[in-house]
Amino acid sequence: MGDNMAKIDFGGVIEEVITSEEFSMEKAREVLKDEIVAVLGYGVQGPGQALNMKDNGIHVIVGQREGGDSWERAVADGFVPGETLFDLETAAQKGTIVQLLLSDAGQVATWSRIKKCLNAGDALYFSHGFSIVYKEQTGIIPPENVDVMLVAPKGSGRTVRRNFLDGSGINSSFAVLQDFTGRARERTLALGIAIGSGYLFPTTFEKEVHSDLTGERGVLMGCLAGVMEAQYQILRKNGHGPSEAFNETVEELTQSLIRLVAENGMDWMFSNTSTTAQRGALDWAPKFRDAVAPLFEELYESVVTGKETQRVLEANSAPDYREKLQTELDVIKNSEMWRTGAAVRALRPEKRKR
**Is there a catalytic annotation at residue 128?**
yes
Q: In angstroms, rounded to a whole number, what is the distance separating the alpha carbons of residues 236 and 224? A: 18
The structural domain count of the chain equals: 2
Would residue 71 count as lying in a domain?
yes
**Could you tell me the sign of the dihedral formed by the alpha carbons of 111, 116, 117, 123, in that order?**
positive
Is 193 found in the same domain as 314? no
pLDDT at 337: 96
Residue 145 lies in a domain: yes
* 120 and 225 fall within a common domain: no
Please tell me whether residues 81 and 173 are part of one structural domain.
Answer: yes
Interval 251-273: pLDDT, tens: 999 999 999 998 999 999 999 99
- Across the strands, what pairs with 124? 98, 148
CATH number of the domain that 120 lies in? 3.40.50.720
For 9, 78, 147, 197, the CA distances from 21, given in Å and listed in that order, are: 18, 30, 25, 12
Q: What are the tens digits of pLDDT across the range 301-334?
A: 999 999 999 999 889 888 898 899 999 999 999 9
| Closest C-alpha to 15, from 160, 199, 170, 261 | 199
Is 270 a domain residue? yes
pLDDT in the model for residue 1: 44
Domain that holds residue 10: 6-203
- Domain boundary among the residues 183, 203, 223 is at 203
Taking the chain (354 residues) in consecutive chunks of 10 residues, what is each chunk's mean pLDDT? 70 84 94 98 94 97 93 96 97 98 92 97 96 94 98 91 92 96 97 94 95 95 96 97 95 92 92 93 96 97 95 89 94 96 87 61
The predicted-structure confidence for 206-242, as pLDDT tens digits, reads as follows 999 999 999 999 999 999 999 999 999 999 999 999 9
Residue 35 counted as domain residue? yes
Q: What angle do CA 219, 224, 229 make, to 5 degrees?
A: 160
User: Which of the residues 59, 128, 210, 240 is marked catalytic?
Assistant: 128
Q: Indicate whether 162 and 18 sit together in one domain.
A: yes
CA nearest to 3, candidates 292, 249, 199: 199
Residue finishing a domain among 182, 203, 224 = 203
Q: What is the pLDDT of residue 318?
A: 87
